Chain A
Amino acid sequence: MLRICDLSKVYGRTIVLRGLNLDLKEGTYCLFGPNGSGKTTLLKTIAGFEKPTSGRIFFEGREITCYPAEKIAKMGIIMAFQIPRVFWNLSVEKNLFLASKNKKEAREVANLFMLGEEIELEVKKLSQGKLKLLQVAMAFATKAKLLLLDEPFAGLDAENVRAMLEILRELKGKRSMIITSHRPKLLHGIADKFFELRGGKIAGSYENPF
């Protein structure tokens, strides 16, 4: 489904990704590693928000390296950012409608993601936890084949972490996902495979222990 060949990304003198290779079939994957290991940069590069310094990315056999983000999104790769990027002055329903392009589906997704009660509310009035859920909901609503979820648990309290885990369990099997997290243990019941990213390279991997 996704093949990354010899991907490198350099910011000035800082090498963030060093000849990274990855070949993923459909499924759920967890990328973990310390701060600065290149997790977010990798996701942004796949999604077209960063241009790689070198290397190639293929999605379903088609090369998508250096494609603009909106084109990659249309092809079926959607990224949910660590700090939610949503439409602040629009309601939850309109945010979901923009993603799904269908009012009925927008409402269904809102209910699935526990946002049913807030559907009429302006997004800027949502709590941090609900914002995170909304962003994942928007990614899901697009019917993308691959969701790139950057630190979906960051900044969430225990209750919202549980809600997010429930959602991710629900999504498993319906969509392929690459999830970055500082806490890979949280995803032990969800991800099929875990990749450790260190110094811009895949330092190791293991299968779901459960």
Chain B
Amino acid sequence: MAYKAILIALLLFIPPLFGYFATFVALIAVLFAILTVSWHFMEKEAGWASLGHSIPFGISAYIFALNPSLVILSLLCSLLFLALSLTSRVLFPFATFIISIAFWQISHYFVFDGKGGEEGFSVLVSIPLEIVYTIAALLFVFSFLFVELLSRSNLGLQINATRDDEIASKSIGINPVHLRVFSFAVSTILAMISGILYALTFGHVSPEVFSPFYALFPFIASTLALNKRWACLVSSYVIVALSHALSAMIPEVHYVIYATVLMLFAVVRKNAENL
């Protein structure tokens, strides 16, 4: 346990010591780590694997850019997840992915006050990068601890139970729909935090936030983390750092990284069972 905490602390505290660029890359990794923790909670604890986490991520980033006071509206994404969950657990990943692609396409045509479209929107709020990084690091620790404590609570146990068998849950008086709504809301809030941090980091939001890169990121990062929550930060660092390091040589290198992780998935999963 101690070495995990030390590793997380090092990953959060060391990058700012290496200047602006290192802080910038670390900030992207941390905000994606929050998105991955959000996805991981919904998949591992509640049993709903989303391939459309770019929806709450992107919508919150867009709303934050347009009007920060309305960002709470992105919570409505949990209702969208709830509607999509009616398809079944098996179809849910595909349904969320298709809808995220639809958002990606539609966002290219979204114009407000003469701005938007493919160019997107500039974020009205501007905060120095170091402060955004500090906020992101704190929010990551908060998100991680919150999900960790929740998953160990009685409520978390009930969420695990509905993941295993909804009929069995009903038969002992647990309402699986209430727990599903709660799980989606928690996951959406964390994805929302990640989206806002993204908007603050780049100062600009474009249709790219709904792209498959963002939709698939938490799934790939969680896979690379061997499905361990604490390792989500490490895997986010690996993907983000590799993407930045190699993007000059190979265009769209993140997709190569994704493909590599997926190909190694079987081996990764076997190793995870032994950890």
Contacts and interface: CB of A to CB of B under 8 A. Distances in A.
Interface of A: 47-49, 68-71, 73-74, 78-81, 85-90, 94, 97-99, 101, 138-139, 142
B158 A98 contact: yes
Contact of B165 (A79, A80, A87, A139): A87
A86 B171 CA distance: 10
A139 to B, nearest CB: 8
Among the interface residues B157, B170, B173, which one has the most CB atoms of the partner chain A within 10 A?
B173
B160 interface: yes
B172 A49 contact: no
15 contacts: A49-B171, A71-B173, A73-B172, A73-B173, A74-B173, A79-B171, A85-B168, A86-B165, A86-B168, A89-B164, A90-B157, A90-B160, A97-B157, A101-B154, A142-B173
B155 to A, nearest CB: 11
Contacts of B9: none
B1 to A, nearest CB: 20
Nearest to B166: A85
Which size bracket describes the interface of B in this complex? 10 to 19
B160 A87 contact: yes
A78 B218 CA distance: 39
B236 to A, nearest CB: 26
Nearest to A75: B173
Contact of B171 (A85, A88, A90, A97): A85
Contacts of A139: 171-172
A89 B171 contact: no
A96 to B, nearest CB: 10
Interface string B41-64: 000000000000000000000000
B161 interface: yes
B165 A85 contact: yes
A74 B154 CA distance: 17
Contacts of A85: 165, 167-168, 171
Contacts of A99: 172
Interface of B: 154, 157-158, 160-161, 163-165, 167-176
Contacts of B161: 87, 90, 98
Given A85-B167, A87-B160, 20 more contacts: A48-B170, A69-B170, A70-B170, A71-B173, A73-B171, A73-B173, A74-B173, A78-B171, A79-B171, A80-B171, A87-B168, A87-B169, A88-B164, A90-B160, A90-B161, A98-B157, A98-B158, A101-B154, A138-B172, A142-B172
B267 to A, nearest CB: 22
B160 A78 contact: no
Closest 10 A/B residue pairs (Cβ): A73-B173, A85-B168, A69-B170, A87-B164, A74-B173, A70-B170, A87-B161, A70-B175, A99-B172, A85-B167
A70 B174 contact: yes
A138 B174 CA distance: 13
Among the interface residues B158, B168, B169, B171, which one has the most CB atoms of the partner chain A within 10 A?
B171
Contacts of A138: 172
Contacts of B176: 70
A47 B171 contact: yes
A74 B163 CA distance: 20
A68 B166 CA distance: 13
Nearest to A123: B164
Contacts of B172: 73, 78, 98-99, 138-139, 142
B169 A70 contact: yes
Contacts of B154: 101
Contacts of B167: 49, 69, 81, 85
A70 B169 CA distance: 8
B165 A98 contact: no
A79 B171 CA distance: 6
